[in-house]
């Protein structure tokens, strides 16, 4: 099956073509970061309007790059949620309209299932069952995965997601949006021994996360530096280093705890924060000590992208699932509500 994937859940327009026999044929992405940076975060109305402008040109580009035409397609997958409702509606209405015009099925895909399955785009893939850490701007979750659609939530953030915490810490330091990459760059020049930030909730039982206290600690440290001698560039580097270390250590501890609790040797980590090099290195080292392995998507597929939607949609369309011809989106959508696809446990 040849599936067109459309991703428009937030501030990135992604389009891709995935073939269940040949793999990923082509993909293209337009990021709206330059549009939203002056506002310090995503402006939903601006995001929706830019998806309208960019989706069709990217679609034409991907078809041309793959040497395909609409007549070659067997289905269209689009992000139906969770996400910004206006942005989701752009992708949903476009996908349903094209599916009707071309006489092929369309299917709304869960955004986080797309992230969870993104490592399957790589040559070396994890085998079910495994534990997944989904860590992005809007989500921080630990999930047990027994197959496609067979998900059990183990723990999640009780307040801000890790990606949101990075954005807010960056704003405290006067860094632009999105904050994660800027924090990581500053942290490389930070003194690891100067500040010791708390690791939230690691001494409590369970697998939930909380980053609100860490944000408050960061703000207090920034204010202390300002009062002492003004916030210098080295202060910013040292605070960024301590903040990143605290988030990474917390995620690593909870991932190891989840694997031990579930008795599984495999961790999948996906979402924008999974591109953090410090997190990848620390997880690799920590899990090696307990004989576990960690799998990631390629860096280009860590953030929102059409390839993960095309892949996830291909698995479900291949199993016979499809939508009615109505553009329905779900800004909030628990992943545990997805139907299991035992028939495609061995993914294409």
Annotated binding residue 21 = no
Q: Compute CA distances 32 → 53, 131, 173, 248, 258, whole Å.
A: 12, 31, 22, 27, 35
Separation between Cα atoms, residue 62 and residue 27, nearest integer Å:
6
Contacts of 244 (CB under 8 A, 6+ apart): 183, 184, 187, 276, 278
Separation between Cα atoms, residue 277 and residue 262, nearest integer Å:
26
- Residue indicated by tokens 């628990």: 334
Separation between Cα atoms, residue 175 and residue 3, nearest integer Å:
39
The dihedral through the CA atoms of 137, 139, 144, 147 has a sign that is negative
Annotated binding residue 143 = no
Contacts of 124 (CB under 8 A, 6+ apart): 295
Q: Are 128 and 118 in contact (CB under 8 A)?
A: no
Separation between Cα atoms, residue 28 and residue 147, nearest integer Å:
28
* 281's tokens: 């290195």
Annotated binding residue 212 = no
Contacts of 43 (CB under 8 A, 6+ apart): 35, 36
Annotated binding residue 51 = no
Separation between Cα atoms, residue 183 and residue 276, nearest integer Å:
10
Annotated binding residue 167 = yes
Strand ranges in 64-170 using DSSP code E only, listed in sequence order: 75-81, 106-110, 130-135, 140-147, 150-156
Annotated binding residue 111 = yes
Q: Secondary structure of the chain: what % helix, strand, coil (to 5)?
A: 50, 20, 35
Annotated binding residue 135 = yes
HSE-CB at 209 with a 13 A cutoff on CA atoms is: 33
HSE-CB at 273 with a 13 A cutoff on CA atoms is: 26
Binding residues for substrate: 134-138, 167, 180, 276
Binding residues: 111, 115, 134-138, 167, 180, 276, 304
Binding residues for Fe cation: 111, 115, 304
């Amino acid at each position: 099956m040849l599936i067109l994937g459309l991703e428009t859940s937030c501030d990135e327009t992604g389009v891709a073509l995935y073939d269940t026999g040949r793999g990923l044929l082509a993909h293209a992405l337009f990021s709206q970061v330059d549009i939203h940076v002056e506002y310090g975060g995503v402006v939903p109305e601006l995001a929706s309007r830019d998806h309208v402008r960019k989706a069709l040109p990217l679609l034409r580009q991907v078809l041309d790059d793959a040497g395909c035409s609409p007549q070659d397609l067997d289905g269209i997958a689009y992000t139906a949620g969770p996400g910004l409702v206006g942005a989701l509606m752009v992708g949903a209405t476009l996908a349903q309209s094209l599916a009707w015009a071309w006489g092929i099925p369309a299917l709304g895909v869960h955004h986080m299932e797309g992230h969870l399955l993104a490592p399957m785009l790589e040559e070396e893939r994890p085998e079910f069952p495994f534990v997944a850490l989904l860590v992005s701007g809007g989500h921080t979750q630990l999930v047990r995965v027994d197959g496609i659609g067979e998900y059990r939530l183990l723990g999640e953030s009780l307040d801000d997601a890790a990606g949101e915490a990075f954005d807010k810490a960056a704003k405290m330091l006067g860094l632009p949006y999105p904050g994660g990459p800027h924090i990581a760059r500053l942290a490389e020049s930070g003194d690891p021994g100067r500040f010791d930030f708390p690791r939230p909730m690691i001494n409590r039982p369970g697998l939930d996360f909380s980053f609100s206290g860490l944000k408050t600690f960061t703000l207090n440290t920034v204010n202390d530096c300002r009062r002492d001698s003004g916030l210098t560039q080295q202060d910013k580097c040292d605070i960024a280093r301590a903040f990143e270390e605290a988030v990474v250590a917390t995620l690593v501890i909870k991932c190891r705890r989840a694997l031990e609790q579930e008795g599984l040797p495999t961790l999948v980590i996906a979402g924008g924060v999974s591109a953090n090099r410090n997190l990848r290195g620390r997880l690799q080292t920590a899990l090696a000590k307990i004989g576990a392995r960690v799998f990631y998507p390629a860096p280009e597929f860590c953030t929102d992208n059409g390839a993960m939607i095309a892949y996830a949609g291909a698995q479900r369309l291949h199993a016979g699932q499809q939508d009615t011809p109505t553009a329905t989106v779900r800004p909030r959508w628990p992943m545990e509500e997805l139907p299991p696809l035992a028939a495609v446990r061995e993914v294409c």
